């Protein structure tokens, strides 16, 4: 009920690229949109900004990555107000729970001056209150934009089946997993640039061939590193001096989840690579911005 003073961007919608980004009521893609597109673009006062989402899992994930802004479920935010409210809807297919008109009303009415809605870019199978809200925002000539954040792993989604086949046909198959084939293709495209002409890439490189002298490792790390089955998914190296430049791991979301055996092995590998001064990047298959992150490291290590 605040007075309209003709401010711009009072109502804004940002749609993610099409894809199945939601995992167990958590959407890393919507977090990336908020963190890497919305927050840098707008001059928010963190104390007067709130992020609302229907699900506890999204609250926990947002809180880990965005530490200076209040994040809560719709229920927890009831009775509170902020100058700016960002709503993360999470769902790829909008559920009855997220679309509850009472909850939407509570979420929307927490905003005093600016409301930003982060939603899926997927077409919805039936009429929804959230899509009605988007239509209202668009009808009143406010901003409805499409996110520019994408991932090489978006090709894994069923919506991109033909595009994935076409992309992979241009490159060598190096793995039984399309996620690794996609990463290999991306790395090949990156180092094809003349500035990286000294670099080459190898897939599934045994760690015991990289760590010749394990004297820096404790007993557990040494046993893991010297195991013939332990390997790096990808190793980028200088083809002249054979010096390792950057290691890259592709982490499937389910297989590498927190508190799994694989997650504990990941920590071992991380520490080993750190001890020997070899940069390591990990990419979750539900993440984004892989190309930019690889180039950022290569720019630092390739003179």
| pLDDT confidence of residue 11 | 93
Whole-model pTM: value is 0.89
pLDDT-based confidence at 178, cuts 50/70/90?
very high
CA-closest candidate to residue 298, choices 246, 238, 244, 240: 246
Other Cβ atoms within 10 Å of 181 Cβ, number: 21
Give the tens place of pLDDT for each residue, 233-255: 999 999 988 999 999 999 987 76
Give the tens place of pLDDT for each residue, 99-129: 999 999 999 999 999 999 999 999 998 899 9
Stronger pLDDT, 9 or 280, i.e. the higher one? 280
287, 32 in Cβ contact below 8 A? yes
CA–CA distance, 87 with 129 (Å, rounded to integer): 14
| pLDDT confidence of residue 131 | 95
| pLDDT confidence of residue 3 | 73
Tell me the average pLDDT across 151-159. Answer: 94
Tell me the average pLDDT across 166-192. Answer: 94
Q: Please, where are the H alpha helices in the chain? A: 28-33, 39-41, 56-65, 74-77, 101-108, 129-139, 161-169, 178-191, 219-226, 261-275, 290-301
Instruction: Name the packing angle between helices 261-275 and 219-226 (round to 10°).
Output: 100
Q: How many residues does the chain have?
A: 303
Phi, psi of 130 (to 5 degrees): -65, -40
What does pLDDT average to over the chain?
92
């Amino acid at each position: 009920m605040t007075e309209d003073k003709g401010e711009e961007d009072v109502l804004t919608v940002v749609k993610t690229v099409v894809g199945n980004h939601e995992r167990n009521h958590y959407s890393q893609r919507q977090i990336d949109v908020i963190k890497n597109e919305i927050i840098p673009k707008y001059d928010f006062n963190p104390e007067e900004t709130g992020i609302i989402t229907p699900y506890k899992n999204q609250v926990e994930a947002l809180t880990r990555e965005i530490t200076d802004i209040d994040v809560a479920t719709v229920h927890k935010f009831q009775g509170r107000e902020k100058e700016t409210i960002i709503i993360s809807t999470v769902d790829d297919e909008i559920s009855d729970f997220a679309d509850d008109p009472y909850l939407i009303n509570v979420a929307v009415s927490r905003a005093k001056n600016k409301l930003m809605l982060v939603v899926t870019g997927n077409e919805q199978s039936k009429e929804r209150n959230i899509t009605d809200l988007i239509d209202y925002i668009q009808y009143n000539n406010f901003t409805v934009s499409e996110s520019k954040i994408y991932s090489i792993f978006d090709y894994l989604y069923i919506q991109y089946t033909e595009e994935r086949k076409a992309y992979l046909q241009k490159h060598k198959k190096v793995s039984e997993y399309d996620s690794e084939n996609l990463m290999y293709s991306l790395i090949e495209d990156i180092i094809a640039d003349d500035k990286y002409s000294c670099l080459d890439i190898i897939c599934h490189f045994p760690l015991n061939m990289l760590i010749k002298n394990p004297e820096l490792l404790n007993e557990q790390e040494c046993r893991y590193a010297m195991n013939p089955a332990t390997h790096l998914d990808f190793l980028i190296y200088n083809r002249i001096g054979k010096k390792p430049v950057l290691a890259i791991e592709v982490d499937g979301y389910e297989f590498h989840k927190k508190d799994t055996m694989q997650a504990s092995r990941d920590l071992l590998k991380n520490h080993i690579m750190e001890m020997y001064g070899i940069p390591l990047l990990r990419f979750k298959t539900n993440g984004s911005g892989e190309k930019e992150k690889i180039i950022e490291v290569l720019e630092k290590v390739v003179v």
